[in-house]
Amino acid sequence: MSFQHEPLDLSKAQIRLLLLDPPGDGAITARVEHFDFDSTCPLYEAISYTWGQDIDSCTIQVAGQQMAVGDNLYRLLNVLRNHFSRLTGWLWIDQICIDQTNPNERNHQVRMMHQIYTRASGVVAWLGDSDENSDMAMKFIAGTIKIYPTLSVGVPKDKTIQLAIISLVQRPYWSRLWILQEVIAATKVDLMCGQRRIDWASLERFFFHYRQFYINHYPAFKKAHTIVQERSASTPRTMLPILQRFTDWQCKDLRDKIYGLVGLIPYDIDFVIDYQKPVKTVLIDVLLALHEDLTPREGYRFNKMDILWNLVNSALQLRRNLAVFSISEVQLLSEVLQNCPDLWDEAVMFDMSPSSTTTTVCEALLSNDFLRDRIVDEDSLAEGLSRRHWFFDEEADEEADEEADEEVDEEVDEKVEEMMAELFEKVWRSG
């Protein structure tokens, strides 16, 4: 018999938390309790991880019942129980703390996801089991902040270390869409790989000190660096760029390509999370919410043509990223235009047929180069990144702005760079 959760009170902001029993050689045992999020909730850590392919291949005991969990999560729980038991208290883990068989509860908890990760005392980002290369990479990254507080040195000299770091940032964790919200919302993040645990600041400093290494291997580092940038960004996020940038990230349920991003929008939008809706309906819902978000209002200057081409491009991109091939491009745009009558006058201008219909207008829009393919490929910008992309505090930002204004891009003296790199690697190896 599968594990049966006691139901949450969905009229309240309630969550479940997990508490692992003390370490031992036998099965992993734990208990789960309900808490009112706004009143009785204790301090807890939230876990950020990948579910993996085998989502029910292992079992733990919760309150005397067998609960199926994924292999990757089981390995994390085993490490936390046996090596971090003194540091581990209450945990929030989506696979365990949400009744995945109850769509109403799933809707309720996903709406709370941003709050859950924001309120957590910390977030543990689990990269997976360790190996010889990952231990080397984690140790090197952790040491960066201690050895080089200010100086940027370009590229790690040791090729073995370079390959170990590249392997670490190419793990499946970094491509998972949900980690964007989980890491960005958190007040504190620790990276954990096997038994090694380091703080997020070490990763930020690594990208600062070794920016040339990142640029040289941009495809490998793109996802990890994107998260570092987004976590340290001070500019408010808006709906359009969030949808354009992140819906190609990976998740098991295609609806999560939308639901997993809603929490990144720092204001309310007219959009309801509902896992009982098919993917096609979720796609249309988010396009209508985007139209509402782009519609001119006080403080915004989008004109109707801007809104139209943004909607067209977003519709095509989201249809592709959500794999909604049960509806054609023409049908999708027809659905959108029929629900956005304020854009009809702009759209009909592209139709040269004698008598315009929704179908002919949409076909004309799809064949028009002015409206299609207007999304910039970020990869093409990699080589042109300015130095300001590599700073993570206000003082450094001000310095970077001054240098950018003066069009100065000073390089570290080669001899100093080589000496400092050698010093760091000697210290690292001796540590």
What was the pLDDT predicted at 388?
Answer: 32
Cα Rg of the chain (Å, integer): 24
Alpha-carbon gap, residue 183 to 46, rounded angstroms: 10
Local confidence band at 426 (pLDDT 50, 70, 90 cut-offs): low
Alpha-carbon gap, residue 275 to 110, rounded angstroms: 10
Q: Is residue 40 part of a domain?
A: yes
Find the DSSP H helices in 102-217: 103-111, 113-119, 132-147, 159-169, 178-185, 200-209, 211-216
Q: Is residue 340 part of a domain?
A: yes
Q: Is residue 1 part of a domain?
A: no
Residues sharing a CB contact under 8 Å with residue 258, sequence separation 6 or more, in sequence order: 243, 247, 282, 283, 286, 318, 322
Average pLDDT over residues 303-332: 92
Which residue did the predictor score with more confidence, 193 or 57?
193
Residue where a domain stops, chosen among 203, 232, 261? 232
Q: Is residue 338 part of a domain?
A: yes
pLDDT tens column, 235-284: 878 899 999 999 999 999 999 999 999 999 988 898 999 999 999 999 99
Q: Is residue 376 part of a domain?
A: no
End-to-end Cα, the chain, rounded Å: 51
Same domain, 206 and 250: no
Alpha-carbon gap, residue 406 to 93, rounded angstroms: 48
Residue where a domain stops, chosen among 190, 207, 232? 232
Average pLDDT over residues 170-188: 96
pLDDT tens column, 221-241: 999 999 999 998 878 788 999
What was the pLDDT predicted at 291?
Answer: 94
The phi-psi region of residue 373 (left if phi > 0; otherwise alpha if psi is between -120 and 50; otherwise beta) is: left
pLDDT tens column, 396-425: 444 444 544 444 344 444 554 555 555 556
CA-CA-CA-CA dihedral for 314, 319, 323, 327, to nearest 10: 170
Same domain, 75 and 165: yes
Average pLDDT over residues 181-187: 96
Nearest of 75, 178, 161 to residue 126 by alpha carbon: 75
Local confidence band at 3 (pLDDT 50, 70, 90 cut-offs): confident
Give the sheet arrangement for strand 58-62, strand by strand.
Answer: 65-69, 58-62, 29-36, 14-20, 90-92, 44-48, 122-128, 189-193, 196-199
Same domain, 265 and 346: yes
What was the pLDDT predicted at 375?
Answer: 41
- High-pLDDT (> 70) share of the chain, %: 81
3-class DSSP assignment, residue 185: helix
For 284, the domain range is: 239-366
Q: Is residue 372 part of a domain?
A: no
Same domain, 197 and 52: yes
- High-pLDDT (> 90) share of the chain, %: 61
Which residue did the predictor score with more confidence, 105 or 88?
105
Same domain, 75 and 192: yes
Q: What are the tokens at 347? A: 């759209």
Largest CA distance in the chain: 79
> What amino acid occupies position 371?
L
| 190 backbone dihedrals φ, ψ, rounded to 5° | -115, 135
Same domain, 193 and 300: no
Same domain, 288 and 307: yes
Alpha-carbon gap, residue 241 to 257, rounded angstroms: 14
Same domain, 186 and 330: no
Residue where a domain stops, chosen among 213, 232, 251? 232
Same domain, 294 and 417: no
Q: Is residue 2 part of a domain?
A: no
Helix (H) or strand (E) holding 62: strand 58-62
Q: Is residue 423 part of a domain?
A: yes
What was the pLDDT predicted at 410?
Answer: 47
Nearest of 273, 372, 293 to residue 329 by alpha carbon: 372
**Is the torsion defined by CA of 182, 184, 190, 195 positive or negative?**
positive
Which residue did the predictor score with more confidence, 395 or 366?
366
Number of domains observed in the structure of the chain: 3
Same domain, 60 and 200: yes
pTM for the whole structure: 0.82
Same domain, 311 and 395: no
pLDDT above 60 for 208: yes
Same domain, 228 and 261: no
CA angle 251, 256, 261 (to 5 degrees): 105
**Is the torsion defined by CA of 398, 156, 50, 82 positive or negative?**
negative
